[in-house]
Structure 1
Amino acid sequence: MNSKLLKIGAIGTLVGVTAFTGMHYFGCGSKPIKPFTPIEDEIKKPKTPQKVGIIGSGNWGSAIAKIVGANALKNPDFFVEEVKQYVYEEEFEGRKLTEIINEDHMNKKYLPGIELPENIVADPDLISTVKDADLLIFVLPHQFVPRILGTIKGKLKKGVRAITLIKGVNFIDNKLVLISELIEKELECEVCSLMGANVANEVAQEQYCETSIGYKNVETGVLFWKLFNTENFEVRIVNDVKGPEICGALKNVVAIGAGFCDGVEEYGGNTKAAIMRVGLMEMKQFAQMYYPSVQTETFFESCGVGDLITTCFGGRNRKCAEAFVRTKKSWEEIEKDLLKGQKLQGTGTAIEVYEILKNDNVIDKFPLFKTIYKIVQGKLDPEDIVRYDQLD
């Protein structure tokens, strides 16, 4: 991407050209708002190569390790060659998983058939993985984050920076708590977020896709762009850490609604498109109600409308919601039957979002979210998804 035109605004509209020099973006001022793609040749190198540590080694974590490992090898002025990856030790086919990754260069349990770069070093010791890292990548199930943070707190290198790839949020005392907020509070470090329409297996197979990095400090955002961006995994960055995270959680709720549409025989593509459009509007309204700093442009990026589309057509939440309509089974039975150990996040998020909105007396401003909640709870029929604005 040498001397590539800077893409500014929603959905890649070309409206201008700018250059990155240190911390300045000509034409945008020193604090750009609209999403953009940095110019490769103008990125400022760090004073010393940055050491990267990855926390998590599941399907998505392994796909990301493939990208990060390759980019570390290609950019020795930016990154230390060795990339440690924390792997929860378990046995697979009679061998330790770390042994398989380090000797066969493949995570045969969670990402079979995909070769990993030889500079990815699996480590079962969490502290060993993170203690010397300059850049930390969090890519594990969100329910494990508090325990992980408690373990590594006070044991990190000064000035460490982090990025969360976790598509999930916590709800504490009827309040939404973002993963970036947890990391920032517990580790007292700068945190970015990476979210997008990124199905792990497709990313690992190098099928083209986009993703979004949200940042506070533009220099950090650009450095993470350098770490993740490839020809087939195209990254755009936006001055908004919280927006991508909220999109990553709420799109699962909308996908439940899309799945209801797929399960009701008389509803087709037009119906589903309507639910997706209203869902995107309520996602935006929720995000900006609770986090006024969230940028409108974020919702037109991969982390917003892009991730919403792919989840509503191919995600696990859509799949399970359709099965809920057709099989009449419980959510617990459907999760066990269809997800084979993975977790269904949309139903839980729908319930927790409803409780937040009800507690704040604003639930009537979110008729679709309210309707999805009531169908999830069995208080309405799936056919009622299209009457979201007519029901009490």
Structure 2
Amino acid sequence: MLALPDIGLIALTTAICTAVVMLVAAGVLRLNRRGRVAAQFAVVVCAAVASIVSSVLAVMVEMFLSTHDLTVLVWVVAIATLVSLVATWAMVSRAVSVSVGRLAESARHIAAGAVIEPADPGWREFNDLHARLVDASEQLALARGEVEKLDQARRQFFAWISHDLRTPLAGIRAMSEAIDDGVAPEPGAYIRTIRTRVDTLTDLVDDLFALSTLQSGTLRLERELVPLLDLVSDAVVDVRDAAASRGIRIEHRDIEGHMLWADPRELSRAVGNLLANAVRHAPAGSDVLVTASHRGDDHLIVSVLDQGPGVASEDLGRMFDVGWRAGSARTVDSDSPTGPGAGLGLAIVRGIAEAHGGGVGARHVADGFEMSIVLPVGEPAAGMR
């Protein structure tokens, strides 16, 4: 049995040999820190084997083995080390290199915009990483699709807006030139038409400015506790003449008694936009109904129901987007009593609702088509006022 001093000597020798080898390995790894994974892995394996071999040989030398025995031991350790390193390279390092190469190829495909297929490049960690790359490629493809849609919508929106601005401006120019040349049969009527079209352009520019403040997050709401009936009444006043010109009656039900914290000017504008849209598309001589109901205890739903056909079911999710209009015709009716219909009104409604912490909705019902604003009724936190 080994004596305690011998055990201590063996432990000290082994620790010194292992420390020296590991320090050398750490230095090599630091110098090769930008090298390939397989090379780094090979350095670690060689360091582990070298620490064992050096420790064994150092201890054997201390044991004063014969030269013959020591030579045999050296050959045995050398051959075992060489075979172990070759086997390790063949079984592990090569597998690591192949797996990393497959991951790098997948990353190149993702950078090129492709969606990669699920695969098993090697070990579990590499398989998990490849699965995450597959998810990332799918998410990036969806994001690129959304960006392309948004870019297309942006280009289409600017084309529509420029058309909507040019059409009334061209009419104003033609009528003003006719008045200036003295060829206008009724100058007073021309002037009234010019004024109407200027008002249309003013409304369009105001809508563009309102939309920009909503989308940039610079709109500051002046919230106060207001009766819903007052907001709806103000909105009805704004569209009353337009409704009367088409014989449309605006009624309300279950509006009284509801109170909510809101910016009365902005929320009245949102309800007015819903009413203007309903008046524009409802059949002549029909009714438009404004109702309110609670959703739970903390939200109020303000709905505008008209008897028109509404929009196609596949367009329900798009009708509150900027620039969206159900009809294919893009011409602005400058004389329309309900406004230019430039595809901004419903987008403004959604922006105002979301600024209040709510949302919007639309659906087909038995009596026609209904659009809604969902609003929180409680007092907002101090940072949201």
What is the TM-score normalised by the length of structure 2? 0.22
TM-score (norm 1): 0.21
Whose Rg is larger?
Answer: 2
